[in-house]
Chain A
Amino acid sequence: MPQASSISVLVVDDQLTMRALIRNALQQIGFKDIREAPDGEEALKNLLAKPANLVISDFNMPKMDGLALLRAVRSHPPIRQTAFVMLTGRADRELVQRAVQFGVNNYCVKPFTVQGLKEKIEQVFGQLT
């Protein structure tokens, strides 16, 4: 069983409040290595400079949205294996289907719960300790 504390996470969201909430939820789950980026462009730079094991990304963001970030991650060999969980709204069924085509590992519907987010991550990494 993987340890949450050994998994590095990049949280990508244009809202500071949402990033803080996701960080807080991840800390409750047991993650310790958590970085943040305010949009896809910054996130890609961040990942290329220092890869992460998991990206948790919003969809609607300026400059580069979550779907474009996902495509970019999958097209850069050094980071293409990065686990990618997309945060979406309830009405974004079509978006999720497109994200699946581009290789998303899972998605989590906002407003998420800590337990809901944990389950989505565990579906990717296995049960976390």
Chain B
Amino acid sequence: MINRDPYPEEAGPAVKVHVTQGESHVSSDPNVVMTTVLGSCIAACLRDPTTGIGGMNHFLLPDAGDRKDGGDAVRYGAYAMELLINGLLKKGARRDRLEAKIFGGGKLFDGLSDVGASNAAFAERFLRDEGIPIVSSSTGGLSARRVEFWPASGRVRQRLVAVDNAPADVRRPMPAPMPAASSGDVDLF
């Protein structure tokens, strides 16, 4: 029996783009592979399969990510997703064709709350509410994850990493600070 690889090797040398917490990156270059390492954080890989335009973000909600109706954490998460979606649309992706793969949300240390689980729940709910299908996911568990995403083909490779072998900032990530109440740097008045 011949095992056909649904994702044949991408042409040319890989250009690795590492996506760290708080970042998002978009590309349709078949040579680009986006990489990240996740603990409790979430990486959403969104892609328009028709155009081959895809992107990855990497975020961590500070807390209360399971609250649907508000809270700074949810606003931060929605913004992280919006940045990625807007980046895809600017490159020519169509919103109604987007599909998602989500990773992360592990529980890497003992604590009262499972931040990773609430982050994963946020991402799933956001995508469901926005009508973006999740075509595959790997969330939760007790390991860190090393994720590689080829936006042009949609291929993803994930390796689980033992907690002790994960980088320190993955074992104990710090949520991005929320902005000050009146942040902004253009004076209108």
How far is it, in angstroms, between the C-alpha of A28 and the C-alpha of B72 when the chains are bound?
13
Whether B2 sits at the interface, judged by CB under 8 Å, is no
How far is it, in angstroms, between the C-alpha of A113 and the C-alpha of B182 when the chains are bound?
9
Within 72-116 of A, Cβ neighbours of B (below 8 Å) are at 89-90, 93, 96-97, 100, 104, 106-116
Complex contact B184–A21 (CB within 8 A): no
Can you identify 14 A-B contacts, CB atoms within 8 angstroms? A14-B95, A17-B129, A20-B69, A25-B75, A104-B188, A109-B184, A110-B82, A111-B72, A111-B75, A111-B76, A111-B178, A112-B75, A114-B70, A119-B182
Whether B168 sits at the interface, judged by CB under 8 Å, is no
> Which of B7-15, B50-58, B83-91, B135-143 participates in binding chain A?
B83-91
A15-B85, A89-B86, A96-B184 known; 6 other A-B pairs, CB under 8 Å? A17-B129, A21-B78, A62-B89, A89-B79, A109-B179, A111-B76
How far is it, in angstroms, between the C-alpha of A125 and the C-alpha of B174 when the chains are bound?
37
Q: Which residues of A contact B164 (CB under 8 A)?
A: none
Whether A6 sits at the interface, judged by CB under 8 Å, is no
Q: Which residues of A contact B81 (CB under 8 A)?
A: 15, 17
Main secondary structure of the interface of A (DSSP, over half): helix
Q: Which residues of A contact B70 (CB under 8 A)?
A: 21, 24-25, 28, 114
Complex contact B78–A17 (CB within 8 A): yes
Interface centre among B82, B129, B180, B183 (most CB of A within 10 A): B82
Whether A48 sits at the interface, judged by CB under 8 Å, is no
Complex contact A116–B78 (CB within 8 A): no
Contact of A107 among B74, B86, B181, B184 (CB under 8 A): B184
Complex contact A16–B184 (CB within 8 A): no
Within 111-129 of A, Cβ neighbours of B (below 8 Å) are at 111-116, 119-120, 123
Contact with A along B113-156 (1 / 0, CB 8 A): 00000000000001001100000000000000000000000000
Contact of B180 among A62, A93, A116, A123 (CB under 8 A): A116
Whose C-beta in chain A lies nearest to the C-beta of B86?
A60
How far is it, in angstroms, between the C-alpha of A111 and the C-alpha of B177 when the chains are bound?
11
How far is it, in angstroms, between the C-alpha of A5 and the C-alpha of B76 when the chains are bound?
27
How far is it, in angstroms, between the C-alpha of A115 and the C-alpha of B76 when the chains are bound?
15
